[in-house]
Structure 1
């Protein structure tokens, strides 16, 4: 089992500081999303606008730029990175085993229909949903668990869909940065057990968990997060019958199988040097939110028991949904047989001049007390007076507790009592 981890390890980052100012904030006049790197507005990605307008969800940068001239104490063969610039200490970066691009990114992804996906995906299989314009795509974790990065373009939006198995971190990034489109690969290095990516244009090293450049030309800069959602194949195809699913690459991989059997119940995270925060088990799944000054984590176990949690955070009144029927990608050998962890989603519960109060239904849908409308896990009213209305999604992070707490040691842990 250890040999498998070494072959596939991804890289995490740690910080001892509080969450930082979001990288995408709403323009005070236009309300459109402003990208952190250029200051230009992006009016085409409605999900990004919604996230930006609520001023939430972007993690903390690691620290000040270090230019002490100390070279890295590890081999850097094959990299043209500017190692004179960094924001982290060298001893926090560990080898995960593979060399540069030893875990190959998917660079020319091909997609297939729902019918074709049904031939190899089970209804409970986890996929990452990303939508832009008129295109909605599903990226199965059964593929990403072997490749960790997919460099794609969705209806004109360059995007990288990423997954670090060791932190259970599924994150989408805008590939537009500083007037160019970046392509990402794997360095073979980890920080706090999280994937460290690099871009092929400047070979800057980027922390997947935070989107921060930590070594190289763009050290101290931050990629823009794009709103994505982990959900079941069943929910994806019901919501997007004309959607597309990432086809299995023509590579010798056991797609559909999990090389990290039992990892989501581990008490010893792989290549994690710190002491895990004892408030929860290390591999407890949490839903994380941040603002410029606060961070909070909601345990999946609490969300599962409640079905819906209402909370106030970052100046917003939130509804957090949990729906059963999603397999863990990191439990059993066959991903579709993984234990049911459920899908979680976060929304602003203000709709027009109404503040809605939700409750779960036995069929996995949700109802609001104010109008009796029925809502799905993707925040759309599918029946009742508000049919067709959509809740504003909030950028959130579904991670293992040990990694979330390592990045945000001052994080609040939600307590329903």
Structure 2
């Protein structure tokens, strides 16, 4: 066989061994520029052909490699042998060390404890879920590493998820078309975790529960109501709650996130002004009457309580004295729209001067025993809310002008 043809076969094989896999890894991990591309459909189908292309590449390389070591000069042996070693090294990094489902493993031990035997500090943030008479709390620091915990609350299966790149917590039903699915972590697009169900192999965005590509494209996982607040606040509301305990196999990984729930990047940079909005500024986002709206976290901390109208629904957004736990309620109570005020410790309505607790219940005054209806709210980074809820209204404080409508594009 012509030596030029042999050489061409070798380099064609090396190309197939390296490039598809590298491109796949680049598009599914947060490398510079990769997450801003609209490439989820491309990488979805690329993943399906990476292995066949590698097999073809391996077959193309075999004969030229044998020829080099049997008949070639020393320089040819070093070149071709070296490239094979490069391929092996790339495989290790792209298919093992930096593969999402291996970087962020499923918990090996899922163990819960009561408040009496709990070992989790009550200052940590949790995602709290209630089904029937059963309440469970999932610490964000643990979820942030694993990205997802597949569990059940009472008799209801739940998929509890958290993506640290977006600061998005979501709880979904893992039941699709009547079948309880298991999910694997694929990687990330637009800095948000992408998961795949076992049966249809569809890819779902964690921030929305929407299938972005695959047989179920356009479908949305059923979202299960949850609250994000400190464990202390959760236990005040549900003292009999079970609390997810740390998996001792991942204590070092959890330790890397021990301050994750405290300071946002904008607070760590003294060069930024107080009204500066950056990609990782925290917001509380809600969607009511098909209208998305985000509230600047630092302004919420200062205001303590915000009375607002989203779509046609009057809402109240509150921050507890711990400056970490937040709530959003419908302030229309039996046809009467209440206006709330707050100080460092107390929440009351202006109309009756009744006092309310942080569970949305009136504990003293004319409205004692009444309860506000909760509205699902999410705390996340501004770049995430803007990406997945565009267009959106944006509130930047009581002194700011009318809310701005912001589109991702």
TM-score relative to the length of structure 1? 0.67
Change in 2 beyond 3 A, CA 1:354/1:294: closer
1:352 aligns with 2:353: no
- Which SS does the other structure have where 1:253 is aligned? helix
The structure-2 alpha-carbon separation of the partners of 1:14 and 1:112, relative to structure 1 and needing over 3 Å to count, comes to: same
- Contact kept, 8 Å, 1:304 with 1:322, in 2: the verdict is yes
1:141-156 correspondence runs (5 A): 141-156=140-155
Conservation of the 8 A alpha-carbon contact between 1:175 and 1:181: yes
> 1:390 maps to what in 2?
371
- 1 CA distance for matches of 2:359 and 2:139? 17
Given that 2:35 and 2:191 are in contact with CA atoms closer than 8 Å, whether structure 1 keeps it comes out as no
Aligned equivalents of 2:183 and 2:369: distance in 1? 37
- CA distance in 2 between counterparts of 1:206 and 1:399 reads 18
User: Aligned equivalents of 2:266 and 2:373: distance in 1?
Assistant: 35
* CA contact 2:196–2:203 (8 Å) conserved in 1: yes
- Distance in structure 1 (CA, Å) of the matches to 2:344 and 2:130: 28
**Distance (Å, rounded) in 2 between the aligned partners of 1:70 and 1:126:** 34
The CA deviation at 1:279 is: 7.4
**d(CA) in 2 for partners of 1:193, 1:259:** 18
> What residue is the counterpart of 2:136 in the other structure?
137
Deviations 1:315-354 (A, max 9, x none): 10001111232xxxxxxxxxxxxxxx52221110011232
Residue segments in structure 2 that go unaligned for 5+ positions in a row: 1-25, 53-93, 268-274, 400-409
8 A contact 1:10–1:164 mirrored in 2 = no
Distance (whole Å) between structure 1 residues aligned to residue 394 and residue 45 of structure 2 = 39
Kept in 2: contact 1:185–1:200 (CA 8 A): yes
Asked which structure has the greater RCO (Cα within 8 Å, sep 6+), the reply is: 1
Give 2:227's aligned residue.
Answer: 229
**Alpha-carbon contact 1:287-1:297 (below 8 Å) kept:** yes
CA RMSD of the aligned region, Å? 3.6
Higher helix share: 2
CA-to-aligned-CA distance 1:222-281 (integer Å, 9 cap, x gap): 1111211110111111111111101222423336523486783179xxxxxxxxxx9721
Shift of 1:201: 2.9
Structure 1 residues 197 and 123, CA gap change in structure 2 (3 angstroms): same
Deviations for 1:99-132, whole angstroms, at most 9, x for unmatched residues? 4354123487321111222xx3333211111111
2:264 alignment partner in structure 1: 264
Distance 1:176 1:207, change over 3 A: same
Aligned to 2:69: none
Among 314, 324, 344, the alignment partner of 2:311 is: 314
- For residues 58-97 of structure 1, the aligned pairs below 5 Å read 71-72=45-46, 97=98
252-261 vs 383-392, which deviates more?
Answer: 252-261
Mapped to 2, the partners of 1:194 and 1:282 lie a distance apart of: 13
Q: Which residue does the alignment assign to 1:337?
A: none
2:104 matches 1:103: yes
In structure 2, the CA distance between the partners of 1:69 and 1:203, relative to structure 1 (3 Å rule), is: closer
SS of aligned partner of 1:222: coil
Q: How does 1:254-293 map to 2 (within 5 A)?
A: 254=252, 257-259=255-257, 264-265=264-265, 280-291=277-288
Distance 1:309 1:145, change over 3 A: same
Distance 1:156 1:301, change over 3 A: same
Gaps of 5+ in 1: 1-5, 17-61, 79-93, 268-277, 326-340
Q: Distance in 1 between matches of 2:199 and 2:285?
A: 31
Residue 115 of structure 1 corresponds to which residue in structure 2? 116
1:161 and 2:160 aligned: yes
